[in-house]
Chains A and B, each alone.
Chain A
């Protein structure tokens, strides 16, 4: 396969799997019958756990054993958390954290 065909296939896979995840519950469960309590419980607790996992996923290639020991990631992450606690505005936190990270990796470390 050429590179762009492979890319197109991967995009199709991402689109189809995403659609499958969004449609599956509608195919499995009917509106006139209650959702099994265990599924409802997972629906309540899993999203928070998954976001935590995704934070780790994004940072998986950060090396803490060699210079700069993950310092740009740590500083930028602290900035995102701090701003989010302070202003509760996700857009502001994300933008500021990203700009700070870019400045740190380009100019400081």
Chain B
């Protein structure tokens, strides 16, 4: 009896800790989710579509790109390849979490819900003292998922109620990537990877055209960065 009550208190505390940690993400996910909901609504898809996409895909930038794909009636192959391109970074988030998640409870959901923001919170491996780490990670991941779905649904509903001109709202996705690019530029010393990405993509865009430059760009980037590996790793050693 006593033991049961103590466990109840402890799990109550874990819920609170996970909730508090998710608040910064809440602000971002609700705003970006609203943007996504409005964008999807302006492309002619209502609240159920917004709900389904946010629940099942749960990858913000991909969903913004996805609006264009479904509105344009893209092919399955194009959609799959574009998803690989936009979400390839998740491969590397997972690689860095293998040790931590290999024996975790709730592992499938923890992996499914590993978005950029959730990763950035959980990647340092720290969890609150005397909180069950797996439960904490589960709750934090679920809170974030919940904010994203809530924002998308809100945006879709707002988009249908508020009569406003949404021309140009699609720039929110561009702005999201420009902000990430700037932020990572400010926090890293070696800008060769960022410049390689930017310039390879630009070159491939000019050569292959807007509809088919992503895959060549991806290959070119991997090739260049592989060739530069010794140099980049030496630069990193020297900077230490």
Number of A-B contacts (CB under 8 A): 255
Interfacial chain A residues near B229, Cβ < 8 Å? 38, 41
Q: Contacts of B183 on A, CB cut-off 8 Å?
A: 84, 88, 90
Contact A101 B171 (CB under 8 A): yes
> Which residues of chain B come closer than 8 Å to A104, judged between CB atoms?
168
Q: Closest CB of chain B to A58's CB: distance in Å?
A: 4
* Interface residue tally for chain B (C-beta within 8 Å): 93
Q: Say what secondary structure dominates the interface of chain A.
A: helix
Interface residues of chain B: helix, strand, loop or mixed (majority): helix
Q: How many residues of A contact B (CB 8 A)?
A: 68
Q: With an 8 A cutoff between CB atoms, is B74 at the interface?
A: yes
Q: Which residues of chain A are near B172, meaning CB under 8 Å?
A: 94, 97-98
Contact B89 A31 (CB under 8 A): no
CB distance from A79 to the nearest CB of B (A): 9
Contact, CB under 8 Å: A98 / B35 = yes
For window 14-66 of chain A, which residues contact chain B by CB distance below 8 Å?
14-15, 17-19, 21-26, 29-31, 35, 38-43, 45-61
Could you tell me if B96 and A43 are in contact, using CB atoms closer than 8 angstroms?
A: yes
B1 within 8 A of A: no
Which B residues are in CB contact (< 8 Å) with A106?
A: 165, 167-168
CB neighbours (8 Å) of B200 from chain A are 49, 53
Answer yes or no: B69 CB below 8 A from chain A CBs: yes
The 8 Å CB contact of B61, one of A38, A54, A98, is A54
Question: Are A35 and B98 CB-contacts (below 8 A) given A47-B89, A98-B168, A102-B168?
Answer: yes
Task: State whether B194 touches A51 (Cβ < 8 A).
Answer: yes
Binding site for A on B (CB under 8 A): 27-28, 31-32, 35, 45, 49, 52-53, 56-59, 61-63, 65-66, 69-70, 73-74, 76, 79-80, 83-96, 98-99, 101-103, 107, 111-112, 114, 165-169, 171-184, 186, 188, 192-202, 205, 210, 213-214, 217-218, 221-222, 225-226, 229, 232-233
Knowing that A17-B83, A94-B175 are A-B contacts, what are 17 other residue pairs whose CB atoms are under 8 Å apart, sorted by A's residue number? A14-B53, A17-B80, A18-B87, A25-B98, A31-B103, A42-B225, A46-B222, A49-B225, A52-B198, A52-B199, A53-B217, A54-B177, A55-B178, A55-B201, A60-B205, A81-B178, A97-B178
